[in-house]
Structure 1
Amino acid sequence: MKEVDYIVVGCGLASISFCEKLYKNGHSFVVFDDGSQQSSLVAAGLYNPVILKRFTEVWKAKKQLSIALPVYEVIEKRLGIKIDYQLQILRRFASIEEQNLWFSAADKPSLESYLSTTIIKNSNINVVAPFGFGEVLQAGRLDTETLIRHYKKFLIEKDSLRNEAFVYENLSINDLKVSYNNIKAKKVVFAEGFGVKNNPFFKDFPLNGTKGEVLTIKAPDLKIDFAIKSSVFIIPLGQDNYVVGSTYNWTDKSNNPTEEGKEELTSKLKTFIKCDFEVVNHVAGIRPTVKDRRPLIGAHEDHQNIYVLNGLGTRGVMIAPYVANELYNFIENNAELDREIDFRRFNS
């Protein structure tokens, strides 16, 4: 019988961030993951402190960035990988009115350090941007696929990963410990993204699933080394490859890419990119979104050693280390949960 402090279910951004807290503080743990949840794996990985549709600050952006970036730096050094890339993100203006809205937003104290007041003129013949761009500061891209792949290798080396589905019926719970097959643990944290909809311990969880589809294209003539946010975003990967995304589908709950999603992305891309391109990859995943766009964390009402870490939505790269930190302090240090992230806020 293997004895650990924690069982963690899932191996996406939320789980990895929580495992980092456990590792840093000397807790033993085992992670279960069957690869069924794709949202972290297929995420484009952009992080920026501004909602570029409305030119407003991301919720707790400063705090999230101050926690997230050092976490990813620690992982890079320990695993000997590069995952965090500083990246220039340019918001394409569709009109003079959008330029004016940008300048108004940049005057706000909460946004002045994130929005450049210098309009960047377009000089690329294959990009349509007659009104230029606004530059987002303190932004970048996390290579989530590389992170997850190498983090799983790290867990395997520690004998801390089980590549299998977690069978809820096999979990036995008492006040002091839980047991699952040949493992005894003090606590269980479910960080399984949209997969929590199948979890009987959180069967009434107020989680919506939003399907997102993302393309990888090859465009040899485009030649940009910055990301553009317009009706869709396009992110350079190197070697003339770019990520294009993403769609938002609130009804389809499968991980299967669709022709409709591909057509939507390519047609929007063609409104501001003039060169030829080839679609070389097409993936999809279900984002764990919440109607108030806030995370869902906390303890099970009947089992105080069963916890949930979920609801990261479309900004998991920034928010995951922050909420992992909040949940850890709630569990280990008896800290009070902020009501904005406590899933009980939806209880009637």
Structure 2
Amino acid sequence: MKHVDYLIVGFGLAGMAFCDQLEQHNKSFFVIDTKDSAASRVAAGLINPVTLKRYTMPYKGEEQFHLAKAYFTRLNEKFAFPFMKELPVLKIFSSIEDQNNWFEATDKPVLNRFLDASLVKNNSHFIKAPLQLGEVKETLRLDIPALLDAYAHSLMSSDSLSFDQFNYDELVLKSDDSICYRDIKAKRVVFAEGYGIKQNPFFNKLPLVGNKGEYLIIKAPDLRLSKALKASFFIIPLGDDLYKVGATFNWKDKDSVPTTEALEELLQKLNKVIACEYTVEAQQAGIRPTTGDRRPLIGVHPNNKQLVLLNGLGTRGTMMSPYLAKVLFEHLELGFPLDEEISISRFPKKF
């Protein structure tokens, strides 16, 4: 029997961040992950604290940004690879009103650090931006699949991870407030499965609805972008003339199969923004673990304190995951209370 402090189910951005918290505090753990169509592996990987549609700061935005930057910088050093790099974002204004809203936002103390009040002239013949561009400063981009693979490799080397389908029927809650799963005994199990929560009998009544997001990978040699573009979607340079374009939001489909409808939607939007030839190299899809109130779902099951949830990161999982992992660890190990805005206790009738 393998004895650990924590069993973690799911190894996307949330699961990885919680593993890091445990490693930083010398806690033992074991991870089980299916490694199939995780939304984390499809995500754009941008770390930007400003919501560019409304020019607002999300929940704990600056704090999340600082933690994320420090966390991913440390992982860069740990694995001796630049998974995270600086990548400024240029905002294409949709109207004069949108441009005016940008100027108003740059006067707000909480936003002017990130939004440059001086507009950027559009010098590219291949970008359609008649109202010039606004630059978002300090933004970062993370190569999520490469980082997940590197971290997973290190866990497998220490026999701390298994790629397997988790079977809830084999989870046994013990009278000593521990859990057993096959040959593993742990004090707690942390579920970080993303949309997989829908198959979790302990938490599947919580209002995680999920939405499907799709991206294109295009090759556009003439575009020559060194910064990301943001219109109603993103164009993110990947290197070698490749760009990630997206994403769509589909609240109906609950699978990871790319669709013709999303392809046509993204191409229509893309053609309104760029005026150069390109080819579509790939199409990706994943289900974001999104809640109706756009807040995470974290905390301890009210009836079984061995069962813990870390979920609902939605569209900002890259920036949010280090913060939520830290908050959850401090709640479990130090007894710090969780904010009602993110705690599963806000849904008492769902258990």
TM-score (norm 2): 0.97
In 2: Cα distance, 1:37 partner to 1:179 partner: 27
Aligned to 1:326: 327
Partners of 1:79 and 1:154 within 8 A in 2: no
SS at match of 1:74: helix
Give secondary structure in 2 for the equivalent of 1:57: coil
Kindly indicate whether the alpha-carbon contact (under 8 Å) linking 1:38 and 1:284 is maintained by their aligned counterparts in 2. Answer: no
Cα distance in structure 2, aligned partners of 1:59 and 1:271: 32
Residue 252 (structure 1) aligns with: 253
**After superposition, where does 1:145-156 map in structure 2 within 5 Å?**
145-156=145-156
Q: C-alpha distance in 2, partners of 1:335/1:232? A: 38
Q: State the secondary structure of the residue aligned to 2:315.
A: coil
The aligned residue for residue 205 of structure 1 is 206
Shift of 1:58: 2.2
Distance 1:138 1:214 in 2: 24
**Which secondary structure does the structure 1 equivalent of 2:345 belong to?**
helix
CA distance in 2, matches of 1:106, 1:137: 12
After superposition, what is the alpha-carbon deviation per residue over 1:148-187, rounded to whole angstroms, capped at 9, x for unaligned? 1111111101101111011000011124311100111111
Which residue number corresponds to residue 301 of structure 1? 302
Q: Which residue pairs with 1:89 in the alignment?
A: 89
What is the distance in 2 between the residues matched to 1:201 and 1:347? Answer: 13
Q: Tell me the SS of whatever aligns to 1:49.
A: coil
**Partners of 1:93 and 1:133 within 8 A in 2:** yes
Amino acid at match of 1:203: N
Q: Distance in 2 between matches of 1:74 and 1:225?
A: 24
Q: Is the 8 A contact 2:212 2:255 kept in 1?
A: yes
Q: Which sections of structure 1, spanning at least 5 residues, go unmatched?
A: none
**Which residue in 2 is equivalent to 1:139?**
139
Name the amino acid aligned to 2:101: L
Match of 1:164 in 2: 164
Gaps of 5+ in 2: none
Secondary structure of the 1:212 match is: strand
- Corresponding residue number in structure 1 for 2:121: 121
For residues 165 and 37 of structure 2, the distance between their equivalents in structure 1, rounded to whole angstroms, comes to 11
State how far apart, in whole Å, the 2-side matches of 1:282 and 1:77 are: 31
Residue identity matched to 2:18: F
**Residues 257-336 of structure 1 aligned to structure 2 (within 5 Å):** 257-336=258-337
1:11 aligned partner, one-letter code? F
One-letter amino acid of the counterpart of residue 251, structure 2: W
Residue 219 of structure 2 is aligned to residue 218 of structure 1:
yes
1:8, 1:306 → 2: CA distance? 10
Q: Secondary structure of the residue that 2:99 maps to in structure 1?
A: helix
- Percent sequence identity over matched residues? 47
Letter in 1 for 2:93: F
Aligned-residue CA RMSD in angstroms?
Answer: 1.0
2:38 partner letter = Q
What secondary structure is seen at the aligned counterpart in 1 of 2:314?
Answer: coil
1:37 to partner: Cα distance: 4.2
CA distance in 1, matches of 2:186, 2:57: 40
**Residue type of the partner of 2:156?**
I
Deviation at 1:35, TM superposition (A): 1.6
- Contact kept, 8 Å, 2:206 with 2:347, in 1: the verdict is no
Matches within 5 A, 1:50-61: 50-61=50-61
Give yes or no for contact 2:2–2:183 (8 Å, CA) kept in 1. Answer: yes
Higher mean displacement: 241-250 or 98-107: 98-107
Q: Deviations over 1:238-272 (max 9, x none)?
A: 11000000000001000000111111111100001
The amino acid that maps onto 2:201 is P
Task: Give the counterpart letter for 1:149 in structure 2.
Answer: D
- Indicate the residue corresponding to 2:178 in structure 1: 177
Number of aligned positions between the proteins: 348
SS in 2 for 1:202: coil
Aligned residues of 1:231 and 1:269 also touching (Cα < 8 A):
no
Q: Counterpart amino acid of 1:248?
A: F
Q: Does 1:25 align with 2:35?
A: no
Q: Which amino acid aligns with 2:345?
A: R
Deviation string 1:57-102 (CA, Å, 9 cap, x unpaired) is 1221110011111111221211222111100101101222221111
Give the letter for the 1:245 counterpart: G
Deviation of the 1:321 alpha carbon: 0.4
CA distance in 1 between counterparts of 2:182 and 2:91 reads 51
The 8 Å contact of residues 37 and 195 in structure 1, kept in 2 or not, is answered as: no
Letter in 2 for 1:324: A
Please say if residues 194 and 287 of structure 1, whose CA atoms lie closer than 8 Å, have aligned partners that are also in contact: yes
Aligned partner letter, 1:224 = L
- Which piece of structure 1 moves more, 249-258 or 139-148? 139-148
> Take 1:239 and 1:29, find their aligned partners in 2: how far apart are those partners?
39
CA deviation digits over 1:36-60, x for unaligned, max 9?
A: 3420001110111111111111221
- Deviation, structure 1 residue 346: 2.5
Secondary structure at the counterpart of residue 176 of structure 1: coil
**Counterpart AA for 1:32:** I
Task: With the length of structure 1 as denominator, give the TM-score of the two structures.
Answer: 0.98
